[in-house]
Amino acid sequence: MTPNAICTPPHDHDTYRWSMVVDLDKCIGCSACTAACYAENNIGVAGLEQVLKGREMSWLRVERYLDSDYPEKTTFLPMLCQHCDNAPCEAVCPVYAPHHSKEGLNNQIYNRCIGTRFCSQNCPYKVRRFNWFTWETPSPLNLQLNPDVTARSKGVMEKCSFCIQRIKFAHGIAKDENRPVRDGEIQPACLQSCPTGALIFGNLMDPGSRVRKLAADPRAYQVLGYLNTKPAVIYLKKVLPEI
Partner 1 sequence: MTNDGASPKLTYAQIDQTVLDTLRPATRPYWITIALLFLGVLLGAACWLYQIFSGIGVGGQNNPVAWGTYLINFVFWVGIAHSGTLISAILHLFRAGWRNPIARAAETMTVFAVCTAGLFPFIHLGRVWVVFYMLPYPTQRGLWPNFLSPLMFDVIAISTYLIVSSLFWYTGMLPDLATVRDRSEGLRKKIFTILSLGWTGEHEHWRHFSRTYLFFAALATPLVISVHSVVSWDFALGVVPGWHTTIFAPYFVAGAIHSGLAMVLTLMIPLRKIFHYEKIITLSVLENVAKTIIFTGLIVAFAYSTEYFMAWYSHNVVELETFRWRAVGDYSLQFWIMVTCNTVIPLLFFFKKIRTTIVWLFIISLIVNIGMWFERFVIIIGSVAHDFIPHAWGLYAPTAIEFGIMLGSFCLFFFLFVLFVKHLPSVSMTEIKETAHAGENHGG
Residues lying near partner 1 in the complex (CB under 8 A): 50, 53-56, 61, 63-65, 77, 79, 88, 91-96, 112-118, 120-122, 124-126, 128-134, 154-157, 223-224, 227, 229
Cis upstream peptide for 140 (omega within 30°): yes
Give 3 or 88: the residue with its C-beta nearer to partner 1: 88
Q: How far is the CB of 198 from partner 1 (least distance, A)?
A: 18
The nearest distance, CB 162 to partner 1, in angstroms, is: 20
DSSP reduced 3-state for 111: helix
* CB 223, min distance to partner 1, A: 8
Closest approach of partner 1 to the CB of residue 157, in Å: 8
> Of 16 and 130, which CB lies nearer to partner 1 in the complex structure?
130
The full DSSP string for 117-179 is: -HHHHH-TT---EE-SS-----TTGGGGS-TTSPPP-TT-EE---S-HHHHHHHHHHHHHTTS
Please report, for residues 14, 154, 163, 165, 216, the alpha-carbon distance to residue 148 in angstroms, rounded to integers and kept in the order given: 25, 20, 10, 6, 34
Cβ proximity to partner 1: between 193 and 229 the closer is 229
